[in-house]
Amino acid sequence: MPIRDLLQAQIEQVGQAIGKMISKFLGLKNDGKIEEALSVTQTALREELSLDVEELCRSEKGKFSQFFEGKPYSVESFELLSTYFAEAGKHKITTQPSDAKLILGKAIILLELADQKEQAVSMARMFRKTELQTILNQLPEE
């Protein structure tokens, strides 16, 4: 049981770290400081969780999903990261539509990873995936 307790503690620790970062991101975003919010969050994710957002965004779907295999991410962590990716992608729609597509696609994949982790489909996640896919479909083809 000690190994299970240790793993559960790691999952909770990662979830708390992601929660704090996303909360700070949303606070800065709501204050109209989206560029600062993106920068601060990317730096924190890289330093605290070894998540290089830019590299992950450029990776193909399989490699992106593989990155998270065997790591202590909870369903809530995937959902929070998806929120971050979705907001970052929406921000780039007008200035960098090709980047926005990549980022929004990754937000959907994170929700799919949450479904897999939970071994269930959530109506809220399904709605968010549909909403993000609708935005993606409205972006111009490259």
Instruction: Give per-residue pLDDT as tens, 21-56.
Output: 777 777 777 788 888 888 888 888 888 878 888 888
Q: Which residues contact 128 (CB under 8 A, 6 or more apart)?
A: 82, 86, 111
**How far apart are the C-alpha atoms of 122 and 90, rounded to whole Å?**
23
pLDDT value, residue 42: 85
Tell me how many degrees the CA angle 131-26-88 measures, rounded to the nearest 5.
50
Name the stretches of the chain with pLDDT < 50: none
22 burial (CB, 10 Å; 0-12 / 13-18 / 19+) is buried
**pLDDT at res. 47:** 82
pLDDT for the residue 57: 85
- For residue 2, the model assigns a pLDDT of 67
